[in-house]
Amino acid sequence: MTDLINPARVVRLKKRYGESADQPLSSMIPAMLGTAIHEYFEKYLKLWVVKSQYPNLHFEEQLTHSFQVGEVDRKVSGRYDIRDGGHMYDIKSCKVWKLIYDPDMKEWHEQQNLYDYLCYLNDIHLESINIIALYKDWQEGNALRNRDYPQTQIAEYGLTRWDRDTQLDFLFTNLAKHVACEETQDDQLPPCTREERWERFPDGAEIHYAVMKTQTAKRAARVFKGGTLSDAMAQAKAKVRGLSSDSMLEVRYATRTRCERYCAVNEWCNDYQAYMKDKKNETLNDYIKVMP
């Protein structure tokens, strides 16, 4: 199920080269910690079930359904963590930035709504879908100072369930995207989006626009964070004095965190190789004249 919402390029390259991927131990630690947390929660709950003789708790039930995409059949399967009658729970171990940079919990909503739909197709009717999040880097002091910071290290979130048509449309759109890439050559695979590459500055913006009064200027006259190129251009002309035909707008791109630190197949990704070449040669950013 996770593959269905992952970038098609990453999924396809993993299927082709996954066995050859030499992952450093440091990149495997988050997954190892996540597995350990899952096992602890489930062990504790299973002991509680036996002790209290509670019959409605189900663990890691495998769900499967076949879909026809064009002329091919593809099987979609997934395994939820915990179901208490009509209430489904997924255990997530993550860092606090997950909530700060993604307060809408977009990826969690997508994944859990797919599980909801798969349950529906397997005659399991849910009333709620939920996340139990354990923040690995949580600090009590930050919680006391900032109300937007998670107030407890373990938090439960009730997610919004989409209607069935929206769930089905999302499932088919993603499934069709992956099926379309099955025979696509490596260098023709659709590039990952900035969101999928975790391409953000510390302030949360994906792009910065720096106004350079001359092509040789060492410092920006002003930096606009986020927004579109046209917006940045308009703001530069309206808010920065002394612009000339030599003035440039430097489009600064954030680090591709997922690509550089957490992608096991970046060795086979031509888009990543081109990105690293530009980064090494300091040609990653774009420069556009402010004045015609």
* Mean pLDDT of the 143-153 span: 91
Distance (Å) of CA 286 to CA 61, 263, 278, 282: 49, 25, 11, 10
CA 278/CA 253 separation, integer angstroms: 11
Whole-number pLDDT of residue 22: 63
Strands 248-253 and 207-212: antiparallel
**CB atoms near residue 22 (< 10 Å):** 6
CA 190/CA 177 separation, integer angstroms: 10
Angle between the N-to-C axes of helices 8-17 and 164-180, in degrees from 0 to 180, rounded to the nearest 10:
50
- Under a CB-based contact definition with an 8 Å cutoff, are residues 157 and 131 in contact? yes
Residue in the structure block whose two tokens are 């030599």: 246
Q: Is the pLDDT of residue 101 over 90?
A: no
Whole-number pLDDT of residue 38: 74
The token pair at 79 is 């395994």
Is residue 77 located within the same domain as residue 171?
A: yes
Burial tier of 283 (Cβ tally within 10 Å: 0-12, 13-18, 19+): exposed
Is residue 65 located within the same domain as residue 135?
A: yes
The reply to whether 10 falls in a domain is: yes
Q: How confident is the model at residue 25 (pLDDT cuts 50, 70, 90)?
A: low
Whole-number pLDDT of residue 27: 63
**CB atoms near residue 189 (< 10 Å):** 19
CA 189/CA 130 separation, integer angstroms: 34
Q: Is the pLDDT of residue 42 over 90?
A: no
Whole-number pLDDT of residue 148: 85
Question: Per the structure, how many domains does the chain have?
Answer: 2
* Mean pLDDT of the 208-231 span: 93
The token pair at 228 is 């579109």
Is residue 220 located within the same domain as residue 83?
A: no
Whole-number pLDDT of residue 190: 97
The reply to whether 199 falls in a domain is: no
Q: Which of 135, 159, 187 is the last residue of a domain?
A: 187
Q: Which of 154, 187, 220 is the last residue of a domain?
A: 187
Q: Is the pLDDT of residue 74 over 80?
A: yes
Is residue 23 located within the same domain as residue 126?
A: yes
Is residue 48 located within the same domain as residue 101?
A: yes
Whole-number pLDDT of residue 77: 94
CA 226/CA 231 separation, integer angstroms: 9
CA 244/CA 273 separation, integer angstroms: 36
The reply to whether 194 falls in a domain is: no
- Tell me the per-residue pLDDT of 233-265, one tens digit each, with 9 for 90 and over: 999 999 999 999 999 999 999 999 999 988 989
Whole-number pLDDT of residue 26: 62
Is residue 159 located within the same domain as residue 61?
A: yes
Q: Is the pLDDT of residue 30 over 90?
A: no
Q: Is the pLDDT of residue 216 over 90?
A: no
Is residue 152 located within the same domain as residue 59?
A: yes
Is residue 106 located within the same domain as residue 179?
A: yes
The reply to whether 92 falls in a domain is: yes
Q: Which of 157, 187, 217 is the last residue of a domain?
A: 187
Q: What is the mean pLDDT of the chain?
A: 90
Domain that holds residue 277: 207-289
Is residue 122 located within the same domain as residue 258?
A: no
Is residue 175 located within the same domain as residue 213?
A: no
Is residue 71 located within the same domain as residue 102?
A: yes
> Considering only 79-83, 96-100, 224-228, 287-291, which range has the smallest mean pLDDT?
96-100
Residue 101: give its domain's CATH number.
3.90.320.10
